Structure 1
């Protein structure tokens, strides 16, 4: 006997439960979508109605309720008048226009004091008239306002904005927006046309010629007083001792003396410059001192990068227990370095300068010169302590900044301390050091 395929019957109750679950799931999804849509609509309304508009709307609704409840026709008329006023303000905002507004920042990087500008360009490629609204452009903490005139088809309007560059930093520009509002101020509609751009205001720097000759002479490696058995800088001959490399035997001298003589070399090291910028608030007597210190440190670092030197730029980091910490800024290019210096500021709870120097010396190897840049409130004691944390054989120069002060140069226990009042003083000091070296 052949058995045919069996058919499983689903109980009626289970089928009804499955249908009910599907219906409930769809209802929940529709409710969630409606809630999201309603929430978006509420947020849109909240972003359009001004506080004055909410007051007028609430007053109108209250007037209608009270007027109809107590039969006060005058109050009812007032309520409807306020509601109509709100409706008229809403109709005033209808329409976006076919225009376009572009934000242009021609130069994204400038130096303190240089002229910088941004441009807003409005065009109307459509058939409908575009304009008659207010243009707003946030620039830093301020908002620049202009009235956009009505533009016919193909019309174009351009306006320029001056950007303040009196202080180092990053100035946010934008987003550019147009604002349409009713004459009473019940509703306000903003249309954003661009992203936020940034203008980087770099610290002022001066060219330092000393780094290209004299002050740091070993671009590919300069001889030191440390002697080694193999290098490129020949020093002298000495007698052969077991274990010496036979490749360095000087055969002519060995033949003359009758004793094996080997070459001895001076160990050469590649130059590596370390610039340490003190960020502790107590190290500076004023903001002007700190700005001069940033410019001085940036000048040294930028010149070293331009000369293709190995350079590490270190600033004070957060204090962690008894050990100081340091933060290293990027030095892959001059722009990357001065971009990072746009945002450095004095801080209260940072490591002391000696702790920063110690942390940097432990992290960085192959140093040949360390430049410590600080203010006049930093005494000689902390400078000597910071210099003592640097490995032996590394020259240490401290630069103390005092705006409009007299340039000074002194040596304190092997530490060279320069006092500068202007950036040009730093260039002269380093040039003199290079000529003496």
Structure 2
């Protein structure tokens, strides 16, 4: 009688394990093929059923599902316990659902329009809207209800029976107490029962925008800084290297030999070099820090937006090159209206950047150094953060920080090499900026 060696036994066990693994893989592959085959056949049918069932299910409101569930439970309890009371309750609930079904049928032939007048208002001014509904079909349409979302609210209108070609209009007021971008629409016609068990809606219009601009004040000419730029404007400062020729002077040791005017030098017998008038440009960077934690309240945030918009509109009117931005991106500066429209989209942000300096650094990575950088911040911004942000630019860039603080006294102070302006109300801004310019 012979016995297998341990090595041969291990090889036999390994071979059996490999065969079992291969068999399991084959079974798994076969199951996967069958599953894919079934899925490929069932999925189209499921999608087709879903396209037909979902619109029907969507008609049932939350209250309708509760009533349907109550009817089912009542019927089951009536059959199980034999109580007639549950049978009456179930029959009543089912009858309510059956009656509600009759209210969702029917076709509507409406032509609906929404108008807002005006489309742009200043916060606090009045804005009116107009909803027109006409019957564009050849048959009368029954009374219906129209819903019109306006901002965070909703306006409900009862539309009477309309003969073919008839039209009715409804007027509504839009709340404009605060700066906002208000969306009106879409207008929805609602069919359903009085209890709200079933509800079928049709959309008739798209959304339209109402811009509620922040309040602004007129400012005097801005105090514009200048940086050296060959494509800028000529100044009275004399330099040895630029484009705008000024005069000739006698050569001095250390002058660039390329600036020697050889024809004049040959005529006078001594080396003469060119002098130029320096060209500089004016470019304003207007940044609004929308970090929520740096503002004491929502009213202070709105004051900051109004300050930023006032400065931006004045600079655009002066046709000075400007770039306006906030954490949400760059704002349009082609016209004051474009800037005010984009200011309506500004909302508080939370933790978008680790610091004010990092926000400004990332926002200005691909643009040249500005001649004047104006940053609008909230009252909770710390002085160390403001100093660090001002250090982003070189000495040619003037920096002004405008801090809005409703509880502080208006004042002008120095913060490192920056000018710090504290504003508590919007009417103070023109006087403070004029003093900063001087």
TM-score bin (small chain): 0.7 to 0.9
Q: Given the superposition, is the C-alpha separation of residues 119 and 353 from structure 1 closer, same or farther in structure 2, using an over 3 Å criterion?
A: same
Q: Which of 368, 372, 379 matches 2:371?
A: 368
Q: Deviations over 1:332-353 (max 9, x none)?
A: 4444433333233333322322
Q: Given the superposition, is the C-alpha separation of residues 409 and 154 from structure 1 closer, same or farther in structure 2, using an over 3 Å criterion?
A: same
Q: CA deviation at 1:79?
A: 5.0
Helix, strand or coil at the partner of 1:46: helix
Q: 1:51, 1:356 → 2: CA distance? A: 46
User: RMSD across aligned C-alpha pairs, in angstroms?
Assistant: 3.5
Q: 1:236, 1:377 → 2: CA distance? A: 55
Q: Deviations over 1:39-74 (max 9, x none)?
A: 233222222223333344445456666767888888
Q: Deviations over 1:244-283 (max 9, x none)?
A: 245x5683x9866x42222312321221111122233343
Q: 2:341, 2:200 → 1: CA distance? A: 36
Q: 2:188, 2:51 → 1: CA distance? A: 21
Helix, strand or coil at the partner of 2:313: helix
Unaligned stretches of 5+ in structure 2? 1-36
* Corresponding residue of 2:387: 384
Which deviates further from its counterpart, 236-245 or 275-284?
236-245
Q: 2:209, 2:77 → 1: CA distance? A: 54
Q: 1:181, 1:97 → 2: CA distance? A: 13
Q: Which of 407, 410, 429 matches 1:407?
A: 410
Q: 1:170, 1:164 → 2: CA distance? A: 11
Q: Which of 205, 223, 243 matches 1:231?
A: 243
* Corresponding residue of 2:421: 418
Q: Given the superposition, is the C-alpha separation of residues 383 and 234 from structure 1 closer, same or farther in structure 2, using an over 3 Å criterion?
A: farther
Q: 1:226, 1:362 → 2: CA distance? A: 31
Which deviates further from its counterpart, 35-44 or 270-279?
35-44
* Preserved contact between residue 250 and residue 261 of structure 1 (Cα < 8 Å): no
Q: 1:388, 1:78 → 2: CA distance? A: 76
Q: 1:59, 1:362 → 2: CA distance? A: 63
Q: Which of 294, 315, 324 matches 1:313?
A: 324
* Preserved contact between residue 226 and residue 267 of structure 1 (Cα < 8 Å): yes
Q: Given the superposition, is the C-alpha separation of residues 34 and 427 from structure 1 closer, same or farther in structure 2, using an over 3 Å criterion?
A: same
Q: Which of 179, 190, 194 matches 2:190?
A: 179
* Corresponding residue of 1:43: 54
Helix, strand or coil at the partner of 1:153: coil
Q: Given the superposition, is the C-alpha separation of residues 113 and 72 from structure 1 closer, same or farther in structure 2, using an over 3 Å criterion?
A: closer
> Structure 1 length normalisation: TM-score?
0.77
Q: Deviations over 1:117-171 (max 9, x none)?
A: 3321101133432242222111122211121122222221111222222222322
Q: 1:85, 1:362 → 2: CA distance? A: 65
> How many residue pairs end up in the alignment?
395
Q: Given the superposition, is the C-alpha separation of residues 236 and 307 from structure 1 closer, same or farther in structure 2, using an over 3 Å criterion?
A: farther
Q: 1:360, 1:267 → 2: CA distance? A: 29
- Map 1:100-249 to 2 at 5 A: 100-211=111-222, 215=224, 220-223=232-235, 227-232=239-244, 234=246, 237-239=249-251, 241=255, 243-246=257-260, 248=261
Q: Which of 330, 339, 342 matches 1:340?
A: 342
* Preserved contact between residue 214 and residue 340 of structure 2 (Cα < 8 Å): yes
Q: 1:49, 1:153 → 2: CA distance? A: 31
Q: Given the superposition, is the C-alpha separation of residues 266 and 32 from structure 1 closer, same or farther in structure 2, using an over 3 Å criterion?
A: same
Q: Deviations over 1:392-434 (max 9, x none)?
A: 1211112121237543223344422222223332222333444
> Structure 2 length normalisation: TM-score?
0.77
* Corresponding residue of 2:11: none
Q: Which of 89, 93, 103 matches 2:100?
A: 89
Q: 2:121, 2:115 → 1: CA distance? A: 15
* Preserved contact between residue 246 and residue 274 of structure 2 (Cα < 8 Å): yes
Q: Given the superposition, is the C-alpha separation of residues 348 and 238 from structure 1 closer, same or farther in structure 2, using an over 3 Å criterion?
A: farther
* Corresponding residue of 1:18: none
Q: 2:81, 2:392 → 1: CA distance? A: 87
Q: 1:225, 1:53 → 2: CA distance? A: 81
Q: 1:292, 1:239 → 2: CA distance? A: 58
